[in-house]
Structure 1
């Protein structure tokens, strides 16, 4: 019966991830579309944004959105759930990226690297970022609100400065250095067991490196969603929400504020480090200025647009912020072509502009 309240008869049904059948069906359809998205299926090719962006560009943009979704879930836990305003998220992504290139990169003339496999450098990137986050957290918990946001801005500029004075890790300041590729090796052997970045045969299919990279990042995003959902539903999540709503009242009720803020900073920094390592490996070369204040503001915009404190909101905000600039760029070009050719859309656009 439509419109009735969502009543629960057991604690298990109330705390389930997808309590209603409509949510289960919607999630099933969404997962199926996301998994089949990189393949050239007729039903996928008819999606509006796929036809609009073209075959060469849309998968790269969606992959970037998937990677940024991991980082967005991290800032969502810290700012949306715990209520700690942070403008230093780009700094922790940079820590993860440079930890990854130090552990998994190839040593060269003037650069450091240990050529470790992905199952070491990817978790290591997250752990290094989490360690730095928990070192910063004790100082950050002494300030609140906008003062905390202003304090974390300094981390971004510290990170850029450190990356410039340590070119052995970051590479040349203009171009950066080459990051390790997404290849699965047991150790340091030349031939990887699975190369996620090269075209070839994988899981009974012949798919491109871009498709494999997308699927790997999508799997990591799915794991991050499950972890984030369960943290929010757990005792830790309820404590973080209590601190967000009223920190003094939460402490009076026995919630250790410092402990849970440390957890929030640690988990958020871990996810940022994973996302930073994936993004750097996906792009290939990144200068130190990539991890600037604008990137941190972009993640704040993501959770504000999608809805702070919700997992679905963080994901929707990510896809909106990442894909909208490219969509508007293509839309402007298409409208210009329609206007020159005298098509109906062009006439409508000319009428809107002339009336404006």
Structure 2
């Protein structure tokens, strides 16, 4: 029964996104909500200029509608459900403001780093306050072992790091057609399996709703993309997967299941540190997916390779938690 509910959740979210897209994409185009492409980026990306962005609105609507429908019909509304929706919508709104400034106000960098960080921290702190008021555990488990540590008040630092770092890492991965849609579907799919294994059906329903939403979006976001999700989608997905990891008490496992996001972030950090200390670049361009483009890989080859790596990481994460 539970497996059927999860599949039904995926299918429902998928079709909601697919049905919304033909309505939203022309609407975004009429509003001239087109993506601006960085001049320093790969030259092949210049032809993408003007492609409608802020498509993350469709993903958010699909996630929220599916989660509410499936939870009402097959499960109970829990604090976990509300926390997942709060963080997802909160980070989505923050991303929407960033996209709006870029696209409508023609300020290509959007929110400043400080403004975005303040918004991310505010959402993370509200999440932590509600989390602690309901006596959720502050114990950190080491995957594949019987070791665990109660971090107490230190858990707030871990939670903030995961929410802020997770949203930024996923945001960095959104750079090629279909790249984030595919890797997010795989990562959330893995957490859906693990939440189901823990009998956290509310978290599993939410995770499958995300899977269906991004797969539906992928229909229009695959190369050549007809729409981009923008920060509206990527920040929401990053905050959401960090929240899922926290609520399932599989915080450390996020570094494995979200391995592609970690690698992308590390490539940026390595590039910045190397350039500031030695004046030399390790990669032709960061995040890492752009490096492979600039050495001659086609965009589709890069995306499919990263999907495959993400799938291996997801399988490894499930193996460590379930079978080790």
Q: TM-score, with normalisation over the residues of structure 1?
A: 0.31
The structure having more radius of gyration, on CA atoms, is 1
Q: TM-score, with normalisation over the residues of structure 2?
A: 0.33
